[in-house]
Amino acid sequence: MSNFHNRTEAGKALARVLVDRNYSDPVILALPRGGVPVGIEVARELHAPMDLIMVRKIGVPAQPELAAAAVVNGDDPQIVVNESIAAHAALSRADIEHLAQTQLEEIRRRRVKYLGDRSSLPLEGRTAIVVDDGIATGATMRASLRAVRQRGPAKVVLAVPVAAPDTLDALSADVDEVVCLLRPPMLYAIGAHYDVFDQTPDEEVVRLMDEAATLAQQRAPGSD
């Protein structure tokens, strides 16, 4: 049985919980594409700017679906290695960094597509609220959280509508706070908790990020 109609409704529900936390200088960081419709609702309610976290899997060459690591965007890209898989595949750090270059190019391409020439928002000393539409295994989210932490925020908050309890437990070491509306004991698929769980088109991501930028500009000191 579903719990949310769609990502927009899930985002509104999440925002209602987060707004009462009174976070200091929050920045919303959404994982595209599905996290963006959730994140924009949080950004609206908290009157906070929103940015994207771009993550790409680094697959084992002979088994590209098997993730040896993940690379996360930023001025100083961060690589999070799955040590056991990398060791099993006999991949050195240099090998992984070499493999990461293709994924970094894709991250740059997508960031330009989604955000144009807008720069990454600074996180140092702020409350970084990382948002997605749900978490199953948590591999992508773990890489995202570790990369966010390295950018110096005062606090890292993980905020999602639904997630597997054991995954949240595993991720808790990488954050200061977890906000999750639903923690089903057996999470078979994130989409099972939504009535509508279609893929979010690139065009929708662009539209919502443009809206977030406009809202942030309107809130900026000295704006009309």
The rounded distance, in Å, linking the Cα atoms of 162 and 152 is 27
The rounded distance, in Å, linking the Cα atoms of 206 and 201 is 9
Q: Which CATH class is domain 7-53+116-219?
A: alpha beta
Q: Cα dihedral sign for 157, 160, 162, 167?
A: negative
Question: What pLDDT does 188 receive?
Answer: 86
Spans of the chain, pLDDT less than 50: none
Question: What pLDDT does 138 receive?
Answer: 85
- pTM, two decimals, is 0.90
Share of the chain above pLDDT 70, in %: 96
